[in-house]
Amino acid sequence: MSGITRRTFLQASGAVAAASALGLPALSQGAASKARVIVVGGGYGGTIAAKYIQMADPGIRVTLIEKDASYISCPLSNEVLSGERDLASLTFSYRGLGKRGINVVRDEVVGIDPEKRVVMGKGKGGYPYDKLVISPGVSFRWDAIQGMSEAATDTIPHAWKAGPQTTSLQKQLKAMRNGGVCIIVAPPNPFRCPPGPYERAAQIALYLKHHKPKSKVLILDAKDAFSKQGLFVEGWKRNYGDMIEWVSAAAGGAVEAIDPKKRVLTGSVEEFKGDVVNLIPAQKAAALAEIAGLTDASGWCPVDQQTFESTRHKDIYVLGDAAIAGAMPKSGYAANTQAKVCAAAIVAALNGQPAPEPSYVNTCYSIIAPDYGISVAGVYQLKDGKIVDVPGAGGLSPANADARTRAIEVQFALGWFRNITADMFS
């Protein structure tokens, strides 16, 4: 802030008025003019970071680097398994962000040089940056279960990144005999989308109830408790009777080994054989974060929870599932609000200002049946450098709610999806 002249002050005042209409505290287009921000990863975190930086200060040059031509949403992809929707309804283009003036580049980032401040792409070479945001998602710990490997996902799909894996699991369910057992192996904490495996059990049961009613869904869990547990158990029972069975780690659900060809799983107490096996592996931050030296011994990325700047490398910010974000779960909505906090911090920093006091929210719906939805919400604040729950706020849908409440929560889930994807892509 050393060089404030009358001219930049006047520019700043004008930009203040414009910025408050846009929604983020933008400042001088003069001060941050031509600053280069690169965002890597066009998902729930990266798109929002790119858009909200660009909205707050159009003088900043924002480039979004994404390896795929379009985006397929993980949230709602369990509905593909039941046949309630197809992958096309979850697929989005980056054209809307391009129209906003964000430079969208299709490339795969293979490395980062934090000293020279350059991102290395597979295609074009280097992309220099002043600030770098990465929202790379998760990768899998293949070594956590003996016998499991990336190659084995041809027969044992994880379907934990929406796309061909989702289709593969759906095809196996369609080919399964009536009376078969579909095993879902649920991962240990922390992992992407904590209620996801249990919503998936319900969506698979929805398909089986209509097409193969003698079949079962068996969840083998690495944990002894899970997200929205009481609500899921109530919802499973009400909609699917005894079709879904959950085996906790303590009861022998922790899987130690797999024979992918035979679809046989070795638990701590007994063996399980599935007709279809959906193994959701243990997780860590995406490979790029590890390669760039942004992870700690836990496999996830430590960040300043006020700004999401890496504590490992200055001027690199890590968002979403890959980041260690205090009390927040690894969810799409969490990534969305983290990206806005990060965007505001970056815009402030490029304008020579301290990071603003952050505000974060999570909202997560699970659809158990077409007329039966449940939710969890969280409101968060920064306390002593950590993201913590605001006491007394947030929480779950009520237990034993009436049918109308469950039904309207499905409509809200669908509205959530429309709005959060519009926030990302238009």
Partner 1 sequence: MIKTLRLPLAVALLATGIGAHADGIRTAPMLANTCAGCHGTNGASAGEFMPSIAGMDKGYLYSVMSDYKSGMRPSTIMGRIMKGYTEREIWAIAGFFAAQPWTSTDRVASAKAVHQGQEIHNRLCESCHDDGGREQDDESPRLAGQWAGYTRYVLDVCRSQGDRCRPPKMGTRVKALSDAEIQALASFYESEK
Contact footprint for partner 1 (CB under 8 A): 4, 6, 9, 12-13, 16, 19-25, 27, 51-52, 333, 336-337, 340-341, 344, 348, 351, 353-361, 363, 375, 377, 379-381, 390, 392-395, 397, 404-405, 408-409, 411-412, 414-416, 418-423, 426
How many CB atoms within 10 Å of residue 39?
A: 35
Which two three-digit tokens encode residue 185?
Answer: 């192996």
Interhelix angle 46-56/332-350, rounded to 10 degrees, is: 40
Q: Which residues contact 67 (CB under 8 A, 6 or more apart)?
A: 106, 107, 108, 109
Q: Which is nearer to partner 1, 22 or 120 (CB)?
A: 22
Shortest gap between Cβ of 303 and partner 1 (angstroms)?
17
Q: Which is nearer to partner 1, 138 or 341 (CB)?
A: 341
Shortest gap between Cβ of 80 and partner 1 (angstroms)?
21
Shortest gap between Cβ of 227 and partner 1 (angstroms)?
15
Q: Which is nearer to partner 1, 278 or 351 (CB)?
A: 351
Which two three-digit tokens encode residue 418?
Answer: 């429309």
Shortest gap between Cβ of 117 and partner 1 (angstroms)?
24
Shortest gap between Cβ of 365 and partner 1 (angstroms)?
9
Shortest gap between Cβ of 388 and partner 1 (angstroms)?
11
Cis peptide before 391 (omega within 30 of 0): no
CA-nearest of 86, 29, 84 to 53 is 29
CA-nearest of 212, 214, 49 to 133 is 49
Q: In 3-state terms, what secondary structure has residue 151? A: helix
Q: Which is nearer to partner 1, 291 or 361 (CB)?
A: 361
What radius of gyration, in Å, describes the C-alpha atoms of the chain?
22
Cβ atoms 28, 35 nearer than 8 A:
no
Q: Which is nearer to partner 1, 127 or 360 (CB)?
A: 360
Q: Which is nearer to partner 1, 121 or 332 (CB)?
A: 332
